[in-house]
Every structure is written in C-alpha cells, then in structure tokens.
Amino acid sequence: MRPPPWLGSGTRGRDLALAGASLAGGLVLWTLGWQPQIRPHPDVPAGLFLPPLLAMCVAVGLRRVAPRTSLAVGTGAVVVDIALGGSLGTILIYTQVLYDACVYGPPRLWRWLLRVTIGLSLVGAVVGVLLSDQWSGVAVGVLVVLVGLLPVLTGISVRQYRDQAAAERARAEQTARLVELDRWQAVSAERARMARELHDVVANHLSAVAIHATAVLSVPGLDRGQVESALRVIRESSVQGLTEMRQMIELLREPGPGGARAPAGDGGALPEAATARLAEADRLVERIRAAGLAVRVRTDGTPGPLPVGVDLAAYRIVQESLTNALKHGAGEAELTIAYRPTEVELTVENPVRRGGAGLTGAGAGLIGMRERATLLAGRFSAGPHDGRWQVRAALPTREDG
C-alpha cells in the first residue's frame, strides 16, 4: 500500500509523523520506568525526564528544515538527560538526530560530527579505564561508539550514496540534453540540405515557365508560331521539373524492407538529383538557352574527376546562377569554369535588367549557394562587379594532408 501524499518522502508531514512516533516510543519506555540508566541522584523524580524527551522529539521534527538547530536542541536535551541519570528513550532518539544531521546537514556539519564522536569515543574509553582501574572500563567508550559514532557513520554512508545518485541523475540529464541537441542539429542540417536540393532542382524550370507565360500574356499580337514556341518551352520545363521533383522525393523516401532503397527508375539508376555533375553543365546550358538566355561558356584548364560532393555542388551553383541570370538579367550571361590544381572556380556574369524588377524571389538561391560552398570549405561571393552582376565560387577539389 502506498502512503498518503502528505506522508511521502521529503514532506513535512513525514518529519512530524516521525517525531510523533519517537515521542510515543519514548513515553512507552518512560512508562516502563527505564530511567535513569545511571543513578548519580537516586531521588530524581521521573517527571524530570519528560522535558528532555519532548525537546528531543522537537529536534526530530526539525531534521530537514533546520539540521543545525535540530542538532543543537537534541544535543542540549541529551546532555540534560544524562545529567539527570539518562533515559533510554531519549538516548535512542538522539541517535536519529545524529543520523539526520549527517544526511540533511551541510558537509561541514557531518565532518565536524565525525571528528567529535571519534574523540568522545576515545575519551570515554580512557576515562572508563581510569575510573574503574580495569580494562572493562573500555565499555564506556563502546557505548559512546554505539550511541554517537555508528549513527554518524551510517548517516555519512547514506549521504554519499544520495550525492552519488544525484550526480548520476544530473549526468544522465545532461547526456539526454546533449543527445536531443545533436538530434535537433542533425534534423536542422537535413532540412536545410533538403531545402537546397528541392530549390535547385525546380527553380530554373519554374523560372522558365514563369518567364514564357509572362511573355505570352504581356506581349500583344503574337502569331501562332510564337505562342506555340512559348508553350512548348513551358511544357518541356514543367515536365522536366516534375520529373526531377519525383526523383528527389523518391530519393528522400525511407529505405524499403531489408534496408534497400527502392530503385529510382526501371534501370535502377540513381536520379539526376543525386548524380548531377559539372561535366553535364552543357545540357543545363542548352535548357537555359531554350528558355531565352544567351549563355557563353568558357573553360580554363583541363577538366578532371571531382569529388562527388564538389561535383554536385558545382553543378547546383551553376544551375542557380544561370537561373538568376534568366530571371533578373538582360538576356545574356557568361559562364566560366576554371579547373585549378587544388580547386574548381566558377564564375557567372550577366548584365542587370534595367527598367524592370523581373521575377520576384525570396533570396533562397544565394543563401543555398553560399551554404554549399561553406560546407565544402570553399569561397563564395555574389554582387555587382564592373556594372554587371557576378557570382564567383571556388570549391576545393582535394583534402589537405
């Protein structure tokens, strides 16, 4: 059976209940006449032993809220009681006071009690031997050990176990917080990566759709051939965007049974979203040209194999830069791909459209390109340069060391 809530561990009701039980036990021993234990004054009335007993029970009730006060009241009560001859009930309750002072008091208190009880035990043994002129007088020291030293040692042991348990709980909570922080950071990093990939996969296609749809709606007097050409670009861009979106979603799906991921297509090849390479920039440029941007491509150095992460990041940076040039530029752009011994450098320049704001955007493209370069310990810059808009990225192609 569970105790009522007011008697739970650490409650004030439990302390008062323990004090009441101690008083009841002490009164039973007082009724049985188990006092005095020694008889320095045989004519001491039995009623004089009750005030020390009551004071000792009050000390038990103060054991948690005021450990020092509890020890002081209990020690004064036991000194008075022993001076009267000693009451068994009061002495036994004092062992509880000593125990509680070690468990709930400050560390300095139990260290002081340990030194005092050891000293009193030695003094008691020596005084007993001197007064009785026999080695049996050591029993006085043994009594001090039973009444004083053992409760102190027991309280110290319990306190150390509790402190150790509290430290372990704090360590476990800290570990749990660190695990949760790591999980949150991993989730945030994965969400950012997914956002970059999804943005880069479909942004250029949707931009082409928006530009040609705007042209059809805003330019009056288009003949049927021009309208069909614009609609053809819109259809091709939308279909390609949907295809890449499906590939990206399939790539992000949970693995199937046995840990195997479902194949991306009939041939089981990975989707373009995961295998896009800088060497395939020509196809990207052709699509951008079909959307209406005149792109000049220049290559410096000898193309070579690139790390997978660098290859994908370089492709996405070129893709996003050309998409921005299509949306905000004046209809032309220049792409330079320079292969260096330790890095690949990408530069996209285009004139800025005048007299129009172009298509609106949220600025996620520049943020995504900068994040890609930073994650690879590369360099990235974007801004006006000699009257044109320039995007420049340098990605390391080999690890140091």
Per-residue model confidence (pLDDT) at position 288: 84
Average pLDDT over the chain reads: 82
How far is the C-alpha of 395 from the C-alpha of 317, rounded, in Å? Answer: 11
- DSSP states of 188-205: HHHHHHHHHHHHHHHHHH
Mean pLDDT per 10-residue section of the chain, whose length is 401 residues: 71 87 92 79 83 94 92 94 90 94 92 92 87 78 89 93 91 89 82 72 70 72 75 77 72 52 43 68 86 89 88 89 85 92 93 63 75 89 90 84 41
The answer to whether the beta carbons of residues 39 and 57 sit under 8 Å apart is no
How far is the C-alpha of 382 from the C-alpha of 384, rounded, in Å? Answer: 7
Residues recorded for the chain: 401
Closest CA to 119 of 75, 139, 149, 162: 149
Strands 332-339 and 294-300, how do they pair?
Answer: parallel
Per-residue model confidence (pLDDT) at position 140: 82
| pLDDT tens-digit map of 277-297 | 888 889 889 888 887 889 999
CA 145, 147, 153, 154 torsion-angle sign: positive
| pLDDT tens-digit map of 31-86 | 888 878 777 666 788 889 999 999 999 999 999 899 999 999 999 999 999 988 88
Per-residue model confidence (pLDDT) at position 206: 73
Cis peptide before 52 (omega within 30 of 0): no
Looking at the chain, the whole-number percentage of residues with pLDDT higher than 90 is 34
Closest CA to 27 of 59, 60, 64, 54: 54
- DSSP summary character for residue 99: H
Per-residue model confidence (pLDDT) at position 229: 77
Paired with 336 in beta bridges are 298, 347
How far is the C-alpha of 75 from the C-alpha of 77, rounded, in Å? Answer: 5
Distances (CA, A) of 280 to 158, 227, 303, 311: 72, 30, 12, 10
Per-residue model confidence (pLDDT) at position 216: 74
Our CA angle for 212, 217, 220, nearest 5°, is 110
How far is the C-alpha of 397 from the C-alpha of 74, rounded, in Å? Answer: 78
Model-level pTM greater than 0.85? no
